[in-house]
Amino acid sequence: MTYLQKADTVLKIQDKTLIGTAGASVPFPPPLAFIVGMAIGFALQLFIPVRVVTSSRGAHNLVLLASGLLSVSASLIIASVIAFRRARTTHTFSVASTSLIVRGPFRISRNPLYLAGILFHAGVALAANAFWPLVLLLPAIALVNTLIKREEAYLTKRFGLEYDAYRNRVRRWI
């Protein structure tokens, strides 16, 4: 009986190290890549100003496009937060996921919050008619993509075949 208790304890410890209290093993929250990229881009914009368009009509069209991107971004964020709350799980990287979300915006994209980050970053840059933040969106996306791979490895360990089936059904971005 003692052996079973010890074995049981070991299993619990192993589970805890794998999925108990720890979330995905990422060195920093992925949205930080967008924030830093945008900050550096706008700093560059101050010192080396380059506009996306130069005409007032073009600038007006950029604002319209930016409004659309920001609206879609806000919608994705709201829908994703609702999906997390309905699933009673966390969106925090340092806390273990308790369920796999496959509804709402997660039906279309495995990463709707990161997609919202891309749209927000692009929308703000276009609304400001600022070239450098748009340029720095590309390395931010590349960095987030590498972090997503770590999250996917965690989700595969956490949810196994269920996550594999979901990953085969739904694209990473859109």
Q: How many other CB atoms are there within 10 angstroms of residue 106's CB atom?
A: 20
CA atoms of 97 and 79, how far apart (whole Å): 18
Q: CA–CA distance from 57 to each of 54, 69, 103, 126 (Å)?
A: 9, 19, 40, 14
Q: pLDDT digit string (tens) for 111-165?
A: 999 999 999 999 999 999 999 999 999 999 999 999 999 999 989 999 999 999 9
Q: pLDDT digit string (tens) for 28-73?
A: 888 999 999 999 999 999 999 999 999 999 999 999 999 999 999 9
Q: CA–CA distance from 85 to each of 44, 103, 109, 163 (Å)?
A: 39, 12, 18, 19
Tell me: pLDDT of 92 over 90: no
The secondary structure of 49-90 as a DSSP string is: ---S--SHHHHHHHHHHHHHHHHHHHHHHHHHHHHHHHHT--
Cα dihedral 153, 154, 157, 163 sign: negative
Residue pair 111/24 in contact by the 8 Å Cβ criterion = no
Question: 96 in the Ramachandran plot: left (φ > 0), alpha (ψ -120 to 50) or beta?
Answer: beta
Supply the pTM of this predicted model. Answer: 0.84
Q: How many other CB atoms are there within 10 angstroms of residue 46's CB atom?
A: 9
Closest CA to 110 of 171, 34, 160: 171
